[in-house]
Amino acid sequence: MSIIVAPGRGSCCNASMSLAPNTLPQAVSLVHVRPPAPTPGSADAQQRERGRRLYALRDHPDALDAAVLACLLTPRSALDVTIWRSLVSQPDALTPVREDVEQLSSSQRLPWFEHFARALARGPVARRQALIGAARRLLTADRVVTPMDQLRWIALRHLLAGSAVAPPAALAQEFETLDGDQVHSICVYAGFLSTLVPTPEVHFDPTGYGSVSQQWYDTVTAPWADRADVPAREGYDIDAALRALRELQAMPWLLRPMLVRTWFDAARALTDGPRLHAASADALRLSCVLLDSPMPPELGQQYSEVDPIRH
């Protein structure tokens, strides 16, 4: 059976979304994001204790492997838990690790994922390759691979390799001076991101007015619309996105944060509320990891970083 690439794990809908111009009032087109609920004092104490336990895993490779894979689990998926148990070295002994990871909030999970992966990057190559293969088996277990699954797997490979981005071939330049191939690569990768930013795309449009994803893509590619061949947003595949990413990684370093800032600002303009949708924020954070770029400060505020002093 072939693997289905879908907008959301467990989704089976594959209808094309209308790309007609959006004539709704802007407020109707915004992504509505609820602010997080306040954390009670007792829950905060539990989080600190959980953080201490997870930080203590840093010198235990088997536990770190289990924690990385637990970060990739689909919430409440019995199938994923079964696959996880088949992939870790001591499933019963490591179940508390999985349970601690499952209790992490959306603002904590990616920082811990990055922390675990970077701790393993110092280990043997064979062990890292085995973890990459295990992650692939876990993410493809239900035969539905989402753009977020793909992005997390790519980021895992990058982190386990030591987060090495090739040095730029040229000095810093302005966006206006980028050549056609570089612009095309930016557009292709933006097309991939638009399935997650400013919100995970649903391949059904009951309004008939077009998608907020298309609005975001049009905004971030607008600087080149009059002087470059901007490809259609939906014309990408994951292999093309990976090729485009490699081109972006070779861009001058100072341009990468500027590019991420453009993506963030466009998402923020299409979001009603002080925070981006969690999946949108994760996609932009992982893109920063892949581009060796700092996050926009406003994006960083959505996360609770792993703090060695606290743990």
* pLDDT class of 310 with cuts at 50, 70, 90: low
List the domain boundaries for the chain: 47-160, 166-300
Section 157-168 average pLDDT: 76
CA 63 to CA 58: how far, in whole Å?
8
State the DSSP string of 229-297.
-PPPTT---HHHHHHHHHHHHTS-TTHHHHHHHHHHHHHHHTEESSS--HHHHHHHHHHHHHHT-PPPH
Distance spanning both ends of the chain, measured CA to CA: 45
Burial (CB < 10 A; 0-12, 13-18, 19+), residue 157, is middle
* pLDDT class of 15 with cuts at 50, 70, 90: very low
Give the rounded percent of residues in the chain with a pLDDT score beyond 90: 63
Instruction: Give per-residue pLDDT as tens, 199-213.
Output: 987 644 444 446 899
Q: What is the pLDDT of residue 94?
A: 97
Q: What is each CA distance from 55 to 13, 66, 121, in whole angstroms? A: 40, 14, 16
